[in-house]
């Protein structure tokens, strides 16, 4: 008698089934894509942002990630509802398009607070809940700007360099508790932050208004793969890092940029 081959299951098991996840910056371009992907993969998503998106996916928490009290409200709720946490994505971020000469001390402190201090506030609450879960994955948003610099983004570049160093330090400290810590470092990704950056300086500002196709083509052309990134491209990497397939990945800075930073700038002869 011919033996029947086992049929592949029609429904693929969800990669993050029943994992409890916090995403900050959840209302932003990349944050929304992550929340959608996590929910699709079966996670229980807590979506935190100072301004949430319309039709926000996940349990909405309108919080300021620079405020300890505000962060504690979210983590106290998770502690009482679940007593554990598996995934933390620190994606909240802001940009200030200035040189250091033009940056005020308040602006400097604000960008450091949103882009870096927030990760200290959320992660130290998360670590305890991840220990209770037996494992965890923390994903911090760095940037290619933590490696190389765009003009007029001095404080932003400094904040992302700090995120990269913090990521490595946390990975060393919490690895023994089976908590992995990685940074995702995007290149140009088509979100409100990128539009604000493109609209902030000289020629691009004028061109974006008068000839947006020209700006889009110029943006695409600096990438070896011929296009800038979409939020989903980044969410794919975050999703992998969040789950068990990435169980050996920790303490690393994952650049995702369509090859942008692999290529030396060409001379314009
Ligand atoms: N888009 C890019 O090209 C790019 C490139 C490199 C790195 N990044 C990083 O990726 C992350 C996500 O960026 P994005 O492109 O989705 O930007 P975005 O501006 O679309 O989203 C950022 C989100 O952070 C939220 N936020 C700001 N301050 C906050 C606060 N105090 N408390 C709570 N939430 C706050 C904003 O409301 C916003 O929804 C950021 O850390 C950013 O620095 C983006």
Residue 226 in any domain: the answer is no
- Strand-pair category, 136-141 with 179-186: parallel
Cβ atoms of 156 and 115 within 8 Å: the answer is yes
193 lines ligand 1 (CB under 6 A): yes
Between the CA of 255 and the centroid of ligand 1 the distance, in Å, is 16
Cβ–ligand 1 distance for 137 under 6 Å, the answer no
Kindly state whether residue 217 falls inside one of the protein's structural domains. Answer: no
Distance, CA of 126 to CA of 103 (rounded, Å): 32
**Containing H/E element for 87?**
strand 87-90
Could you tell which of 24, 27, 28, 58 is best to mutate to test the pocket of ligand 1, judged by most ligand atoms within 8 Å of the CB?
A: 28
pLDDT digit string, tens, across residues 199-246: 766 556 656 666 778 888 989 999 999 999 999 999 999 999 999 999
Domain with 246 in it: 20-187+231-260
Catalytic residue among 46, 61, 144, 156: 156
Q: Is 250 in the pocket of ligand 1 (CB under 6 A)?
A: no
**If you search the block for the tokens 């404080």, which residue do you land on?**
155
Contact 88, 123 (CB under 8 A): yes
Q: 235 C-alpha vs ligand 1 centroid, how far in Å?
A: 14
Number of domains in the chain: 1
- Measured CA to CA, the distance from residue 65 to residue 201 in angstroms comes to 28
156 assigned to active site: yes
Q: Which of 25, 57, 164 to mutate to test the pocket of ligand 1 (most atoms within 8 A of CB)?
A: 25
CA 222 to chain centre: 22
Closest ligand 1 atom to Cα of 193 = 19
Q: Is the separation of the CB atoms in 85 and 122 below 8 Å?
A: no
Does residue 201 belong to any structural domain of this protein? no
Cα distances (Å, whole numbers) of residue 34 to 71, 153, 177: 20, 25, 25
Residue ranges of the chain whose pLDDT lies below 70 = 1-10, 200-210
**30 Cβ closer than 6 Å to some ligand 1 atom:** yes
**Pocket-testing residue among 30, 115, 145, 261, ligand 1, by greatest number of atoms within 8 A of Cβ:** 30
Q: Is 124 a member of any domain?
A: yes
Q: Which of 20, 17, 15 is nearest to 81 (CA)?
A: 20
14 within a domain of the structure (yes/no) = no
Beta strands 59-62 and 87-90, pairing class:
unpaired
Is the distance from the beta carbon of residue 136 to the nearest atom of ligand 1 less than 6 Å? no
Maximum Cα interatomic distance, the chain, rounded to a whole number of Å: 82
The atom number, within ligand 1, closest to the CA of 234 reads: 10
Q: Give the residue among 195, 133, 140 at the shortest CA–CA distance from 165.
A: 140
In the structure encoding, which two tokens stand for residue 168, read together?
A: 């490595």
Considering the domain boundaries, does residue 194 fall inside one? Answer: no
Look at residue 202 and tell me if it is in a domain: no
**CA–CA separation, 170 vs 209, rounded Å?**
43
Yes or no: say if 95 and 45 are a contact pair by the CB < 8 Å rule. no
Q: At 153, which CATH number?
A: 3.40.50.720
Query: Tell me, what's the pLDDT at 216?
Result: 87
Q: Is residue 27 part of a domain?
A: yes
């Amino acid at each position: 008698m011919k033996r029947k081959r086992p049929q592949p299951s029609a429904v693929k098991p969800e990669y993050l089934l029943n994992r409890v996840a916090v995403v900050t910056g959840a209302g932003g371009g990349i944050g929304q894509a992550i929340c959608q992907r996590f929910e699709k993969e079966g996670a229980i998503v807590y979506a935190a942002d100072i301004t949430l998106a319309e039709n926000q996916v996940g349990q909405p928490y309108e919080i300021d990630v620079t405020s300890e009290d505000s962060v504690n409200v979210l983590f106290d709720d998770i502690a009482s509802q679940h007593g554990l946490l598996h995934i933390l994505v620190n994606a909240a971020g802001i940009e200030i398009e200035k040189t250091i000469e033009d940056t005020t001390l308040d602006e400097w402190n604000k960008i450091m607070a949103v882009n870096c201090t927030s990760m200290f506030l959320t992660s130290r609450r998360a670590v305890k809940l991840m220990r209770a879960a037996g494992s965890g994955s923390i994903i911090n948003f760095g940037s290619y700007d933590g490696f190389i610099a765009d003009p007029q983004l001095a404080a932003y570049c400094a904040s992302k360099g700090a995120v990269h160093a913090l990521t490595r330090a946390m990975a060393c400290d919490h690895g023994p508790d089976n908590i992995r810590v990685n940074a995702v470092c995007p290149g140009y990704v088509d979100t409100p932050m990128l539009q604000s950056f493109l609209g902030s300086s000289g020629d691009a500002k004028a061109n974006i208004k008068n000839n947006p196709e020209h700006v889009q083509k110029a943006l695409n052309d600096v990438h070896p793969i011929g296009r800038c990134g979409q939020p989903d491209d980044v969410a794919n990497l975050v999703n992998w890092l969040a789950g068990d397939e990435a169980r050996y990945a920790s303490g690393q800075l994952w650049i995702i940029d369509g090859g942008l930073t692999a290529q030396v700038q060409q001379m314009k002869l």
